[in-house]
Structure 1
Amino acid sequence: EGINVLEHTEASEVRYDGQHFILKTNAGTLKAEQLLVATGRTPNTENLDLKTIGVQTERGAITINDRMQTSNSRVYAAGDCTNQPKFVYVAAAGGSRAAINMTGGDAHLDLSAMPEVIFTDPQVATVGLSEADAKTGGYVTESRTLGLENVPRALVNFDTQGFIKIVAESGSGRLLGVQVVAGEAGELIQAAVMAIRAGMTVNELADELFPYLTMVEGL
């Protein structure tokens, strides 16, 4: 698609000559008419004077526990102003639990099986642990990667670009994580979320009935 991706590249200097942005990098000099600088998001909390009420923050993000409670037990927070992952569905789930807890309930937010989707084309989706993260966490893993050319739905779609990867605990076969690159990765990943949440093994997952000619059959 005409996109050139430079890996392990850092810019040391940026200047604008009136027509072009000129970047000096360790991969050479780049010139472009437009420049996008993506540096992440910072919670808009600096004017809330949170210190005066004993609400702790880290780099502007309000620190909360799994009950959405801040360091001030009378104050709750949810969404992108907190130190939780910045996803719409995490914010919605946190908001409902905060409301329950503020009115005397006891609701917790478990992010151990949290899906993440990047809506590129093809989509990229993940849940649980990657192979590298699992090994860092002390797990002995066994992994399998399935190219989409082996998935009938992808063949029918004439789009076999991508793969499905499953990471499991060696021995027990317990599912630890799933990573998907596919046109419908965002739809497929939810089945993996439920399987990880249920503590399923790869054999238990394989024994389930999946509709024929669906992408999720690739699991």
Structure 2
Amino acid sequence: MSGMSGGPRGEHRALIGELAALVRLAHTALRGASAVLTDPEDPGGIPTAEKALAELRERIEEDAAAAVPGGPTGLVLGVHVGCEVEALGQLVQRLLEAAWARQEREPFDERLRPPLRGLAGAAVELVARAADALESGAPEDTADVLAQLPEVGRRQRGLYELLLAPETDRGTDPVDTADLVLLSCCYQQCADRAAAVVRHTGLLARAAR
């Protein structure tokens, strides 16, 4: 986080920009991993995700070794968002591992792909909105992210209801069922991390004034 200058407010804005960039890298990696999981005929998302994830890890390591500007507010903000972004990276890694493993199996049943695609899309969108809300600092943007979080839970529940339906239960491979539950949990946790990124932005913005 070197090169941040221009007084306390300038340092704070530069820090926000750096942290928002990290969230966007996590979003790019998540979107790439999700593309191949929801559309197995298009494996191009894997290299995109791997590249973004590698850059994210490198940037996190660089930031961890650098002095955080902005005094106590900058330190709280940097460590808080850094922890959440690092966790997002770990979740994306799990999704990538699942994507690689799924290359050796038949695609998910056609009836199960739409709810998975919807769940993945909701989580990916929430991470993108979290980056925008973090950068803007606008209370309404933060509120929008937090308001969208339950939608991810509803989509996860919808997938579970389909998996538990008698006609699905009889015809779905247990490995596919386990994979879908694992993926849904990863997406729910991604959404939770995205919400956590912006949950305290109002407090931190006031403290930076």
Structure with more of its chain in helix, by fraction? 2
- Which structure has the greater CA radius of gyration? 1
- Point out which structure has higher relative CO (alpha carbons under 8 A, 6+ apart): 2
Structure with more of its chain in strand, by fraction? 1
Mark yes or no: TM-score above 0.5.
no
TM (norm. structure 1) is 0.24
TM (norm. structure 2) is 0.25
